[in-house]
Amino acid sequence: MQSQPRPSMKEHRQPDAPVPVRVCVRLRPCSKDSEPCVRGLDSRSLELVNWRNAKETFKYQFDTFYGDTATQQDVYCSSVQPILHHLLQGQNASVLAYGPTGAGKTHTMLGSPQQPGVIPRAVRDILHMVREAGCGPDGHNCSYSVSMSYLEVYQEKVLDLLEPSGRDLVLRETPDRSIMVTGLTEQELSSFHDFEKHFLLASRNRTVASTGLNSRSSRSHAALVLRVAQSRPLVPARSAKLQLVDLAGCEDNRLTGNCGLRLRESSVINTSLLVLGKVVDALRLGRPRVPYRDSKLTRLLQDSLGGSAHSVVIAHVAPEQRFYFDTLTTLNFATRSKQVVNKPFAPGALPEPAAEKTLQKENSDKQKQSTSKEGPLVAEKPLGALLPLDQLEPSLVQRVLRLEELERQQGAGHRGLPLLGTPKAERKALLRCLEETQAELEKMRQQQKELEAKELLRAASTPEPPQAIVLPMRQVPIPQKRAPPTEDEGILVLKRRSDPGGTENAVPSWELTRCQELMVRGHQKLLELLNQGSTRELLSLKRIGPRTAELIMAWREQHGPFVTLQDLQRMETMTAKKVATLIKANTLDCIQMLLPPGPSALSLFS
């Protein structure tokens, strides 16, 4: 590894303030047999060919743009290394690698022995920072520890990679609104050799497979969590975490040729990335609800996007023409991510060593001055009542006011007198007065509780007798409910009974018959809504919630329209029983959409 500047502990520390997510774009080198559709303009800008008009281009600007000649060290030193010092201040940090499959995300995060990526460089620097902080002039009474956890999100399951068990781990939110993974293995790190030993073994447990675009395609989202804990005597300990996330790539199954398990994995990956885009949109637009819980990935990244972390998103794009729409989608996501603002903070922040020394000096000076100056026997500011006065009995209020007046008189009477001979005698006198006052107030509080208990007991023992209310008799019409039909039964409709031998004054009669045609038309209308309806129209259907509506929209984008209603069973979480219930619940509503309003609807079948 080439030598690189280490993060300094002496950097200027600004007060906590909202910080936008830093977004960088890295361009992978173009293959020899393809023409590029992306071109860099400068260190921050690039342009993409307009697919509607080849003579025009889309221009994008980000915090940093890395061309195809940028090295691993360039990416790390300018984007990742500057946020590491926040860990020693108790603030979280995150690095996310985003982009389509085969764009170079894993290369940026892991690299190779000759060109190490973000993860090994960050671990080496964090261990160096901790040693430097512990050996510095202010670190003699402060100890640091570094630990690591490694997990993957595969098929919407959170799996431990350090000690794989196949068990889906649970995500929970702590009181400070950060996300923790219960049961996740955590390994202590004392050297870079320890990290290599644990990480290399855990990396073999990550789910990878060969596809049409990548021989080692990541089939899951992986996250390495480095936790830096800081402890100091007599002060609460604090910790911060660095999340290094290698996201699985969005895939176009027409290019990858996925089928079977690979197709299902691709569907779950694309759905989770779709939810990630919705989270970014909700944050930048300031919507009241952010859909973190719609996916395990977004729930895990709640600290990184819109949370309390210093976040960096490294978007990866491929220059070849066949990746054009993937590149366009990635650049649009990166543009929206620039508008997300995080609010970093350090829970349980520790005072700076210099500030501690200044505070100790001021306290010692005040103590010296107190032994040579005059002062009152008791505090000039009277002690306030422990309970609001309006909640006490009038007699107790008078006693509280008399006590406060007595305290003021004692303070005024002794203001001109010198203190007692020694500070010890003064403290004893103050403590004696305080104990007497507190004992009196405690006695009044007990009396108030007794009075309240007696009042509640009296009210409970004499309940008001219930009074019966007799309403006048009235006729209530009983609504007629039509039982939901099944496919075998058809739809019950009223038809005029044919009477060939009728007379001129005969009264027309009606009969209930089953109409299979209405059932077929209702199913066709439901299938049309599922294939062409918007998200709002899908949510208006019964038995379809936001999660199912998103799955239907994603299915239509990837596989085209449904041929029959039974094709719903091919979607994830949709069983034959659920599909039958959905069809049964919505058939009548779809038929109502087809029929004209009013009684004339019956004339269609008369």
pLDDT tens across 306-361, in order?
888 999 999 999 998 888 888 999 999 999 999 999 888 766 544 444 444 444 45
Segment (H or E) for 74: helix 72-75
More confident residue, 330 or 536: 330
**pLDDT band for position 291 (50/70/90)?**
very high
Average pLDDT for 503-531: 71
More confident residue, 391 or 247: 247
For the structural domain made of 466-498+508-605, what CATH number should be given?
A: 1.10.150.280
User: Is pLDDT at 117 greater than 90 in this prediction?
Assistant: yes
Q: Among candidates 38, 37, 54, 35, which has minimal Cα distance to 46? A: 38
Listed in order, the ranges of the chain carrying CATH 1.10.150.280 are 466-498+508-605
User: Is pLDDT at 53 greater than 80 in this prediction?
Assistant: yes
Region of residue 273 (phi > 0: left; psi between -120 and 50: alpha; otherwise: beta)? alpha
Record: fold of 19-386+393-403: Kinesin (3.40.850)
According to the model, what pLDDT value does residue 363 have? 46
Q: Among candidates 323, 303, 315, 173, which has minimal Cα distance to 252? A: 323
How many CA atoms lie less than 13 Å away from 33 in the CB half-sphere? Answer: 1
Radius of gyration of the chain (CA): 36
Q: Encoding tokens for residue 94?
A: 């995150």
How many CA atoms lie less than 13 Å away from 306 in the CB half-sphere? Answer: 24
Rounded CA-CA distance 76/63 in Å is 14
According to the model, what pLDDT value does residue 262 have? 74
**Residue ranges of the binding site for ATP:** 99-106
According to the model, what pLDDT value does residue 525 have? 86
User: Is pLDDT at 387 greater than 50 in this prediction?
Assistant: no
More confident residue, 492 or 380: 492
**pLDDT band for position 13 (50/70/90)?**
very low
According to the model, what pLDDT value does residue 492 have? 55
**Residue ranges of the binding site:** 99-106
Listed in order, the ranges of the chain carrying CATH 3.40.850.10 are 19-386+393-403
What are φ and ψ of residue 222, in 5° steps?
-115, 145
Compute the 3-state secondary structure of the chain and give helix, strand, coil in percent, each to the nearest 5. 40, 20, 40
According to the model, what pLDDT value does residue 127 have? 94
The answer to whether the CB of 123 falls within 8 A of the CB of 226 is yes
Q: Among candidates 246, 243, 340, 227, which has minimal Cα distance to 290? A: 340
More confident residue, 444 or 246: 246
According to the model, what pLDDT value does residue 311 have? 94
Mode of pairing for the β-strands spanning 309-317 and 22-27: parallel
Q: Mean pLDDT over all residues of the chain? A: 77
